[in-house]
Amino acid sequence: MDDCLFCKIARKDIPAALVYEDDHLLAFKDIFPQAPVHLLIIPKAHCESLGDLTPEIAAATARIPQVAAKLAAEQGVQASGWRLLSNNGPDAGQSVFHLHFHLLGGKPLGAKLCV
Ligand code: AMP
Ligand code: ZN
């Protein structure tokens, strides 16, 4: 999509601190990190949220936990613990409408999943 921020990052039209790339997935550092490790993992193809998956994007997205585990190990938080989550829609606070998963770690993240 022309005006989608994460599509622009996937096309390399705007820069990001990339930490992983394959044919269908991309991971980069969140620009406003909320933890010492805060990465975003996205399918390169545009899809607004988990409610809009096509079979092709679903197949790529199904590999995200595996990629997240590899990145967590590389970032040194495999043993200390990490969280993988996706905000979908307004009540979840989604602010970029291209499907993405946050990988957070490097400090105690708290027990609450919502306020
Ligand atoms: P969400 O609120 O779940 O939609 O998450 C969107 C995330 O994208 C936020 O954590 C932002 O800090 C992050 N973000 C916004 N713009 C950029 C950017 N240009 N590069 C990297 N991360 C970004
Ligand atoms: Zn997009």
Q: Please tell me the pTM assigned to this model.
A: 0.98
Q: Are the C-beta atoms of 95 and 6 separated by less than 8 Å?
A: no
Which strand ranges, in their side-by-side order, compose the sheet holding 25-29?
18-21, 25-29, 37-43, 101-105, 82-85
pLDDT at 1: 86
What's the distance, Cα to Cα, between the start and end of the chain in Å? 33
| pLDDT tens readout for residues 3-30 | 999 999 999 999 999 999 999 999 999 9
Tokens matching residue 76: 């040194």
For the CA of 95, the nearest atom of ligand 1: 4
98 is catalytic: no
* Token pair belonging to 110: 């708290």
CA of 34 to the centre of ligand 2 (A): 22
- Is residue 105 over pLDDT 90? yes
